[in-house]
Amino acid sequence: MKRTHINIGIVAMVLATIGYSMLSGADKPRRTQQPANPNVDFLGFAKTTMALHETHERRRISEQEFIHRAAQKGAVVLDARSVSKFKLLHIKGAKNLPLPDFTEQDLQKVLPSKETMVLIYCNNNFNDQPVAFPTKTAKAALNVHTFTVLWNYGYKNIYELAPLLDTKTSKLTFEGTQASTTNLQSSSEKLPPAKSLPANFKPANVKPGKQRTGA
């Protein structure tokens, strides 16, 4: 008899637990598997990014090589920042197409062919212009996305500016509404230091003689 009472007690506890679980989850929406969107491929993007790791490392180039390649015929310096940031300051000669606007059609307007040499840079390449080049979290750097997206669209001849630079001391030339100040500072810092003239210096067109004094 005692055993029967114990069994009934256990069953009651189990039923109570199940009932509580059902009640506590009653107000929570059930998580259902959403249908696939053929226009969104998260895993595909992630796989491309990982597969490009070594290629990306090889395509990161110095400031000097960036300048050299940009001067080659047919090369395009592509700025994928917003239009407003581009207008403030950008590398001279760069073409602007914001990353959210990348489509097959719009890319063709900026990049003539899939073989075009594309040189990219982003906010995280410059550390002294927080308005025009606001620094992003390293894992969210625009260069990472731009490189991968261009590759997914079939552009394989991509090179990325590697170093973190100061626009005032950079060898690059800049354009934009903030460029006047930047270029003035840059030009003055790039000039060689002035040399002091010797104490006995005389202009070439002045003959030595008695110095005239005023009346």
Over 90: is that where the pLDDT of 191 sits? no
Over 90: is that where the pLDDT of 74 sits? yes
d(CA 133, CA 137): 13
Per-residue confidence (pLDDT) for residue 200, from 0 to 100:
57
Per-residue confidence (pLDDT) for residue 43, from 0 to 100:
95
Per-residue confidence (pLDDT) for residue 197, from 0 to 100:
42
CB 76 within 8 A of CB 120: no
Per-residue confidence (pLDDT) for residue 13, from 0 to 100:
56
> Which pTM was predicted?
0.71
Q: Let me know if 3 is exposed, middle or buried by CB neighbors in 10 A (0-12, 13-18, 19+).
A: exposed
Confidence label for 189 from pLDDT (cuts 50, 70 and 90): very low
Confidence label for 47 from pLDDT (cuts 50, 70 and 90): very high
Per-residue confidence (pLDDT) for residue 93, from 0 to 100:
97
Over 80: is that where the pLDDT of 20 sits? no
Set out the domains of the chain in order of their start, with CATH numbers: 49-188 (3.40.250.10)
Per-residue confidence (pLDDT) for residue 170, from 0 to 100:
97
